[in-house]
């Protein structure tokens, strides 16, 4: 089973769930949407692999889903455990030099997570990676959910915001429509 983190537009949680189910139910009738302590954040459990899941969700051009991120590791919000889990994921990266680190957390967990952020960045540098915010090869993504930390390694091509994807799709459709009307 593969796990994902899904974030919806605030107050549009039900519509986001429907969008996700519309995109997936034909291929995975056993998909689970699990609520978290944050109202608009869900954990998704599916039998689909990461690429198939992302393809189905992104190609459906969702309107109410803000972000979908695969979950590669989950650990308690404990400095040592987060660092060990992160380093174990980084050990699997071969021939990667440039990495971007993204942290997302609730303001209420800021005091707990800020010292962890500094240690993670230090550990990434000690592993020999170069921090590069503009053109990384991989994105290390950490987000706090329910006193846990979700850790993911993402391709730099995966859009972390579906808003930009929707805008590109709408512009493309508009362009095609305008070209068809010019031909008439």
Is the CATH code 3.30.70.100 the one for domain 2-71?
yes
Q: 73-155 maps to which CATH number? A: 3.30.2130.30
C-alpha span between 105 and 84 (Å, rounded) = 19
**pLDDT tens figures, 146-181:** 788 999 998 776 665 555 555 555 555 566 567 667
pLDDT at 67: 86
| pLDDT bucket at 144, cuts 50 / 70 / 90 | confident
pLDDT in tens, 37-73: 888 999 999 999 988 898 888 888 888 988 888 999 9
Domains of the chain, by residue range, sit at 2-71, 73-155
């Amino acid at each position: 089973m593969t796990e994902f983190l899904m974030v919806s537009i605030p107050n549009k949680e039900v519509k986001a769930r429907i969008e996700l189910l519309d995109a997936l139910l034909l291929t995975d009738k056993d998909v689970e949407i699990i609520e978290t302590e944050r109202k608009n954040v869900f954990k998704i459990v599916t039998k689909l692999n990461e690429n198939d899941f992302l393809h189905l969700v992104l190609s459906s051009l969702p309107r109410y889903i803000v972000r979908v991120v695969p979950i590669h590791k989950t650990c308690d919000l404990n400095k040592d455990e987060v660092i060990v889990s992160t380093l174990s994921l980084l050990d699997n990266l071969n021939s990667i030099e440039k990495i971007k680190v993204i942290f997302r957390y609730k303001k209420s967990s800021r005091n707990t997570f800020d010292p962890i952020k500094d240690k993670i960045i230090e550990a990434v540098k000690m592993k020999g990676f170069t921090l590069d915010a503009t053109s990384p090869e991989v994105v290390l993504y950490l987000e706090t959910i329910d006193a846990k930390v979700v850790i993911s390694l993402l391709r730099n091509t995966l859009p972390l915001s579906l808003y930009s994807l929707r805008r590109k799709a709408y512009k493309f459709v508009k362009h095609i429509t305008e070209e068809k009307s010019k031909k008439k």
